[in-house]
Structure 1
Amino acid sequence: MARADPRTWRRLGVAVLAGGLVLAGCAAPAAAGVAAVASTVPDGATGELPSTAALPAATVLTDRDGTPVAYLDEQYRIPVPYSRISSAMVAAIVDVEDRRFFDESGVDPVGTLRALVTDAAGGAVQGGSTITQQYVKNWLVDVADRDDPAAQQDDRADTPARKVREAVLAQRLAHSQSKQDVLAGYLDTVAFSGSVYGVEAAARSWFGTDAAHLTVPQAALLAGTVNNPTLFDPFRHPQAATDRRNTVIAAMRDAGSITPAQAADATAAPLGVRAAGPLVPGHNCYGATDGAGFLCEYAVAQLERAGFTEQQLDTGGYTIRTTLDPAATASAQQAVDANVPRTQDGVANTLALLRPGHDDRQILAMVANRRPGTDAAAGDTTRDLVAAPSNVFGAGSTFKIFTTAAALEAGTVGYDSTLPDPPSACFPGVGSACYPVGNDGTSYPDPISLPDALATSPNTAFVGLEEWTGTDKVVDMARRLGLRDTLASNAAGGTPDPSSPDPRIAEPQSQFYAGLPSFTLGVSPVSTLEMGNVAATLQSDGVWCAPDAVLSVTDRDGAAVPLARPACEQAVAPGIAHTLSAGLGGDTVTGTSAAAARAAGWTRPMIGKTGTTNTSESVAFVGGTGGADGVAGSSMVFADGPDPAEICPGTPVHLGNCGHGAFGGTVAAPPFLAAVAPLLDGRPDVPLPGPDPAYLQARSG
């Protein structure tokens, strides 16, 4: 007979000693047993006990009605208590994995000793683990050490030290938690195939049900999978999964959990999993439901500004109820997709809708013909097209809103004033050069009334008004009315870099454009969402509120989580907001969007302003209707590809060299009107406010 290797004898000796201590720990009173076993393990080697409160859990974002629209997670897991797990699932996992679970002390001493001795002697790897011990191992691998590959390797190592550590933690766990909590924790922690963790997530993604309603064959399939999620993956290895499921069903029958007749029915049942594979939601906003991606991204950014970390959101199991209105989002998405197809080369169509108000500013929809994602060929984009100042070409004449508001406040103009409006003029510019400006055509009257100027948008009238009022005051008015993030960005739409020698890159727009007469013509990068909020501010009697995408946040236990929000501000006097709104009421009646309004059958009173950049690389529409209880928003169509060019109207809207390109009234206003009209069905018209008597006449200059 060959003599055993001395190292094998040493391993056996350690294994027998450790196993004996485990046996002693199980036989002794609980406290003494745990102490005896723990004394064989180095200090600090056991770690904290598993806890469902610390499990990484998916955060769900819902629309305002509570329907999920996106998930954020590191591991797709939805923890549930024992009371929300079906009796079939409890029986299946106990009968196949650990039939003595409800009677043992957390460790199976005989099985553990056999496994230790066999492993130490170099034999086949043995299990010998109870559900409690498996819970500990899964916890260490997938939770406690999930970001530490070296520690995970130790957690999986087939060594006596690892098994003793598991036994120590298992006994501590068994004496600190109820059997029901241990079993629920195990089922919440365990990994299933398809990158799914926990029984609730598996029930949803595999069968379209929940853990509380799992049937016998469903429960048996899940219970069988945990033994080897790869080998028994029902989507890749259906026959192996079926055989394993039937083994579990037989174990349930033999344990008396189900009758022979029930076992026969369950064995004959099909696997019943989703034909296309597990339905696992995306792990971030790229996986949001159609139309929800940009609002999801904005909600996440809002929460991070309020103090949440990315890891908290990805693992905290929060429920975030967003402001997303499903009807408004569907209508807006349909409108932009009809205007500019998702895969249309080089043309983006963004649309944001908000609810005005004096106490908050809820975002109803944030959509684009693009979708957040990485598949550019499918029309995806990694840019924040709606909230960020992604329209680097500007919003054109919509910026004349800011010039008018600043002039009304400064008293350089009144509602009844007329403005000089020559066909062309050269205004003071930077340095000694003047800034040449011309109107688009020669049909404008000179002088022109302020309401007619707002409706028909002559350039020379507004650049002159900006000069009289002060460009710095106009830029500040833009910030006050809503362009907070826009004006904090640089003239390229990015974060200012003070180290750059180029002021377009180094300075925020609020500084760069403070002395440039081109500002009123809307030539600077701008956010669609913030321009929509400008209209909402005017409809809210001059009260600015930050666009808000989050209605409430609750933690995994359903407790409300407070969320810090910026305070609303009285940006301009109500009289200025009312007077400017009255002046903006003519755009859809006699102004630049009148033809689009007629084509859409639009007859409601509304504020509106179109914008078109000089070479039609961007067109815009800003509008609102229904007062403080209505809808406000902005639609922008702009070149978004590497080779920007003139935007041409048509079906579809496209890039080209059409000679006389798109206008805000022809391309940007139609999707806005199409999106908003269905949302107002059955609601009475709300008239626009009249001009405030205090702002009828100029008061200075």
Structure 2
Amino acid sequence: MFAARATSLVKLVGLCLTAGVLVAALLFPVVGGLGLASNRAADTVDQTSGELAKAELPLVTTVLDMNDQPIAYLYDQYRIPVAFEDIADTMKAAIIAIEDKRFYEHKGVDWQGIARAAAKAGVDGETSQGASTLTQQYVKNYLAFVVGQGSEEAYEKATEVSLGRKISEARIATQLEQTMTKDEILAGYLNIVPFGNGTYGVGAAAATYFNTTPDKLTVPQAALLAGLVNRPSALNPEAGPEAAIKRRNTVIDAMRDNGAFGDDPAVAEQKAEEYKATEIGVVPDLDLLPNGCVGAGDGPVYGFFCRYLVDYLDKVGLSTDELLKGGYTIRTTMDPDATRAAKQAAENQVPKTAPGIANAMAVVQPGTDKHRVRALAANRDFGNNAEAGQSAYSIPAEVTRFGSGSIYKVFTAAAALEKGVARIDQMIEVPRTYTSRVYKDGNKGYTVKNYSDNYKERMTLTEALATSPNTGFIILEEKAGLNNVVDMAYRLGLRESMQGVNAKGEPLKADGSNGPSQGDQYKRDNSGSFTLGAGPTSVLEMSNVAATLMSGGTWCPPTPVEQVIDREGKPVQLKELPCEQAVAPELANSLVVGMSADTKPGGTAAGAASRTGWNRPMMGKTGTTEDHWSVGFMGATPQYAGAVLTFTDGVAPQVICPGNPPYLCGRSGTGVTGGDVAAPTWFNAMKAIHDGKGLEVKPLPEASPQYR
């Protein structure tokens, strides 16, 4: 008994001293001898109280598709801010009753509450009652969840048990009451405070727990939410409904005692008992807002686009950290119909669970003002479960370590046209084998042969682009100059593939320690194999190459963004690269015509086009790497451009062998070609996209006599 009384006495003295020091600190901001405050601290307090009056809360960023339908949400704190008048009186009454009964009477610090707490401590050791007003809690939560962004360090600092913190908190609270009305403070508090399960603020809490809005909260619902503020994790209604109900009923009793149910004690008691008898009413599994590229919208399908969007925005001036707290609305270029068509086509050729084989596609809309990314899809689902055929890498957008094969011959053809060493109707030499005197293989000349011996020894460049003989393009590469061919690849769209990664496909480090870039490596080594496309490449960038050619030679960055709007409804200016004329329109148009025979008899994509019933003019080029670890197809109509890359994505690369579906067959075997897998994926997807939208059949541009 004596020990208990002694403990209570110590607590009583402590509370009284604290109250006295707080008063002194509020009246006299400089208490230098005690180290409790200073002029600088007072300035900081002034600044903090000013910031509180105009607090910018962390909000949810919403990502929309091209039809303004949400496809993803990005956030650190799930919060739906609401105005004071949009919060039900039941919620206001509940939080005041349980947290700060004299909220509308005190000036930020409740000295009567402190006195009651001191008296309470003298009786039974309880010290929490009246210890902190809603205004002080607003300050504390602002510092923890707005300034500190909810970090563990910020929370510990904002809630540490110290006299200095309480003095600072009390001073800020009293100043805050001079700049904000009581209603503004109450609304501010209810918009900041955490309610558990990743929700912050009453707007998100009402939606999560009851699938309703704050203005419609009933007494039992409001009481449950008000009770969660005390200990949101321990009182989680989904994990432990009994504890949550008990706390809810405590809040209801407090509301009754505070006059929330009227002045008649009998009526108030009856209402309280009725409210306490209700079921908990929380929605099953909670209505949590999906977060991130994996969980939001149709994550498995839309996730690749979402991942590219986040990475792209980071490069053009909107960091991931800003996205997670800024409350932006991002209108994207993503076409859900095109995305699903590409996804279905990719999976039809290679099932998502096919071990070690990825099949990725990108679709870009040509244009001279923008190249809008309409779809990024793969046979893989976007996600973190590799065993279920998922990938968290944006495989249609990132530079893979695998090549697209003979698609690179397009760059040789473009450079040859520009240098005047070839025209699309001009005959070129196509010997069965060819040993270059320009390029070397060690100490020997660089010798290449064609895929088969069935090629004519002379053919037009248009025929060569359709049938893809290796020897003819090595000869053209010699004439056009390797450096010019590599530069052409960059100009037409392989920007990251040529200058952003090294020859292994690794992103270049800032210090250049893992360089040179892939493009510079080919130039330095004078490697004629460039035109055969063995090096790392990006599906999206290949798609953008096709878009550049179909846009009259105008290159634009492949953008996933239509518009970014901030929380105030104002557009955000991004640092996107401007479009540029990569090659002359006449050259681009002529090359498009030169690439138009791939679907005709003898062309490497003729079979794939025929099987899908393709009947539109288009440009196209297949590609197969020498080791058959990857194959590709790049093509475009006047309305849409796209590319497909099928590659081995396991730990150890293997040959992809033909089958239904294709399969890995070790280090040797008869591998698939671009016409076997990649081209059918492209034609099936593009036919569905064009036909589904009812697009007219448009002719290709006219070739220029200069390049005929």
Same fold (TM over 0.5): yes
- Structure 2 distance, partners of 1:311, 1:120, is 48
Tell me the SS of whatever aligns to 2:596.
helix
Please say which of residues 77-86 and 61-70 is displaced more in the overlay.
Answer: 77-86
Superposed, 1:186-335 pairs within 5 Å as 186-249=189-252, 255-256=259-260, 270-283=279-292, 289-335=299-345
> Shift of residue 194 of structure 1?
1.3
User: Cα–Cα, structure 1 residues 138 and 586, in superposed 2: closer, same or farther, change >3 Å?
Assistant: same
User: Cα–Cα, structure 1 residues 584 and 54, in superposed 2: closer, same or farther, change >3 Å?
Assistant: same
- Structure 2 distance, partners of 1:7, 1:91, is 35
User: What do residues 50-101 of structure 1 show as CA deviations (whole Å, max 9, x unaligned)?
Assistant: 3563433333322233333333333333433334434443343334433443
> Shift of residue 500 of structure 1?
9.2
The match for 1:132 is: 135
- Structure 1 distance, partners of 2:212, 2:347, is 33
Identity of aligned residues (%): 42
- Structure 2 distance, partners of 1:245, 1:530, is 57
The match for 1:171 is: 174
User: Cα–Cα, structure 1 residues 375 and 119, in superposed 2: closer, same or farther, change >3 Å?
Assistant: farther
User: What do residues 359-416 of structure 1 show as CA deviations (whole Å, max 9, x unaligned)?
Assistant: 11111111223344433223333444222211x2200111111111111111111121
- Structure 2 distance, partners of 1:2, 1:638, is 80
Please say which of residues 141-150 and 604-613 is displaced more in the overlay.
Answer: 141-150
User: Cα–Cα, structure 1 residues 116 and 334, in superposed 2: closer, same or farther, change >3 Å?
Assistant: farther
Provide TM-score, normalisation by structure 1. 0.89
User: Cα–Cα, structure 1 residues 522 and 198, in superposed 2: closer, same or farther, change >3 Å?
Assistant: same
The match for 2:654 is: 645
Among 379, 385, 397, the residue aligned to 2:395: 385
- Structure 2 distance, partners of 1:339, 1:464, is 35
Unaligned 5+ runs, structure 2: none
Is the Cα–Cα contact under 8 Å of residues 74 and 283 in structure 1 kept in the other structure?
no
Please say which of residues 116-125 and 407-416 is displaced more in the overlay.
Answer: 116-125
Tell me the SS of whatever aligns to 1:175.
helix
Superposed, 1:553-572 pairs within 5 Å as 553-572=564-583
- Structure 2 distance, partners of 1:157, 1:117, is 24
Is the Cα–Cα contact under 8 Å of residues 553 and 582 in structure 2 kept in the other structure?
yes
- Structure 2 distance, partners of 1:96, 1:60, is 34
The match for 1:56 is: 58
Superposed, 1:490-569 pairs within 5 Å as 490-496=502-508, 506-514=515-523, 515-569=526-580
Please say which of residues 424-433 and 478-487 is displaced more in the overlay.
Answer: 424-433
Among 417, 437, 440, the residue aligned to 2:448: 437
Matched, 1:602 2:604: no
Unaligned 5+ runs, structure 1: 26-32, 697-701
Tell me the SS of whatever aligns to 1:637.
strand
Letter in structure 1 aligned against 2:414: A
- Structure 1 distance, partners of 2:260, 2:511, is 76
- Structure 2 distance, partners of 1:335, 1:37, is 70
User: What do residues 234-272 of structure 1 show as CA deviations (whole Å, max 9, x unaligned)?
Assistant: 110122223333444555566346997987876565434
Is the Cα–Cα contact under 8 Å of residues 57 and 78 in structure 1 kept in the other structure?
yes
The match for 2:680 is: 670
- Structure 2 distance, partners of 1:51, 1:640, is 53
- Structure 1 distance, partners of 2:535, 2:109, is 69
Is the Cα–Cα contact under 8 Å of residues 8 and 121 in structure 2 kept in the other structure?
no
> Shift of residue 180 of structure 1?
2.7
User: Cα–Cα, structure 1 residues 68 and 250, in superposed 2: closer, same or farther, change >3 Å?
Assistant: farther
Matched, 1:70 2:72: yes
User: Cα–Cα, structure 1 residues 226 and 455, in superposed 2: closer, same or farther, change >3 Å?
Assistant: same
Tell me the SS of whatever aligns to 2:621.
strand
Please say which of residues 643-652 and 543-552 is displaced more in the overlay.
Answer: 643-652
Is the Cα–Cα contact under 8 Å of residues 300 and 383 in structure 2 kept in the other structure?
no
Is the Cα–Cα contact under 8 Å of residues 140 and 158 in structure 2 kept in the other structure?
yes
Superposed, 1:623-634 pairs within 5 Å as 623-625=635-637, 627=638, 630-634=639-643
Among 481, 484, 503, the residue aligned to 2:492: 481
Tell me the SS of whatever aligns to 1:440.
coil
Letter in structure 2 aligned against 1:650: G
> Shift of residue 147 of structure 1?
7.0
- Structure 1 distance, partners of 2:334, 2:277, is 45
Is the Cα–Cα contact under 8 Å of residues 15 and 120 in structure 1 kept in the other structure?
no
- Structure 2 distance, partners of 1:370, 1:122, is 63
Among 399, 418, 422, the residue aligned to 2:427: 418
User: What do residues 587-640 of structure 1 show as CA deviations (whole Å, max 9, x unaligned)?
Assistant: 123311121112112211111111111121101111111x2xx11111111011
Is the Cα–Cα contact under 8 Å of residues 249 and 263 in structure 1 kept in the other structure?
yes
Among 345, 350, 358, the residue aligned to 2:355: 345
Matched, 1:577 2:588: yes
Letter in structure 2 aligned against 1:228: R
The match for 2:384 is: 374
> Shift of residue 124 of structure 1?
2.6
> Shift of residue 559 of structure 1?
2.3
Is the Cα–Cα contact under 8 Å of residues 91 and 257 in structure 1 kept in the other structure?
no
Is the Cα–Cα contact under 8 Å of residues 16 and 117 in structure 1 kept in the other structure?
no
- Structure 1 distance, partners of 2:403, 2:72, is 31
> Shift of residue 656 of structure 1?
1.8
Matched, 1:685 2:697: yes
- Structure 2 distance, partners of 1:679, 1:361, is 17
Is the Cα–Cα contact under 8 Å of residues 261 and 271 in structure 2 kept in the other structure?
no
User: What do residues 295-349 of structure 1 show as CA deviations (whole Å, max 9, x unaligned)?
Assistant: 2222222222223334323222222222222222222222223322323211111
Is the Cα–Cα contact under 8 Å of residues 211 and 287 in structure 2 kept in the other structure?
no
User: Cα–Cα, structure 1 residues 270 and 5, in superposed 2: closer, same or farther, change >3 Å?
Assistant: closer
User: Cα–Cα, structure 1 residues 650 and 324, in superposed 2: closer, same or farther, change >3 Å?
Assistant: same
Is the Cα–Cα contact under 8 Å of residues 347 and 639 in structure 1 kept in the other structure?
yes
The match for 1:29 is: none
- Structure 1 distance, partners of 2:4, 2:247, is 38
Please say which of residues 462-471 and 84-93 is displaced more in the overlay.
Answer: 84-93
Letter in structure 1 aligned against 2:87: I
User: Cα–Cα, structure 1 residues 5 and 195, in superposed 2: closer, same or farther, change >3 Å?
Assistant: same
- Structure 2 distance, partners of 1:269, 1:355, is 56
- Structure 2 distance, partners of 1:603, 1:222, is 61
- Structure 2 distance, partners of 1:252, 1:586, is 80
- Structure 2 distance, partners of 1:192, 1:550, is 34
Tell me the SS of whatever aligns to 1:134.
helix
Superposed, 1:154-165 pairs within 5 Å as 155-158=158-161, 160-165=163-168
User: Cα–Cα, structure 1 residues 439 and 151, in superposed 2: closer, same or farther, change >3 Å?
Assistant: closer
Is the Cα–Cα contact under 8 Å of residues 73 and 284 in structure 1 kept in the other structure?
no
User: Cα–Cα, structure 1 residues 38 and 104, in superposed 2: closer, same or farther, change >3 Å?
Assistant: farther
Matched, 1:619 2:628: no
Is the Cα–Cα contact under 8 Å of residues 88 and 219 in structure 1 kept in the other structure?
yes
- Structure 1 distance, partners of 2:327, 2:374, is 24
User: Cα–Cα, structure 1 residues 499 and 215, in superposed 2: closer, same or farther, change >3 Å?
Assistant: closer
Please say which of residues 305-314 and 514-523 is displaced more in the overlay.
Answer: 305-314
Is the Cα–Cα contact under 8 Å of residues 194 and 278 in structure 1 kept in the other structure?
no
Please say which of residues 658-667 and 283-292 is displaced more in the overlay.
Answer: 283-292
The match for 1:699 is: none
Is the Cα–Cα contact under 8 Å of residues 119 and 159 in structure 1 kept in the other structure?
no
User: Cα–Cα, structure 1 residues 130 and 616, in superposed 2: closer, same or farther, change >3 Å?
Assistant: same
- Structure 1 distance, partners of 2:74, 2:580, is 33
Letter in structure 1 aligned against 2:644: S
User: Cα–Cα, structure 1 residues 679 and 217, in superposed 2: closer, same or farther, change >3 Å?
Assistant: farther
User: Cα–Cα, structure 1 residues 284 and 162, in superposed 2: closer, same or farther, change >3 Å?
Assistant: farther
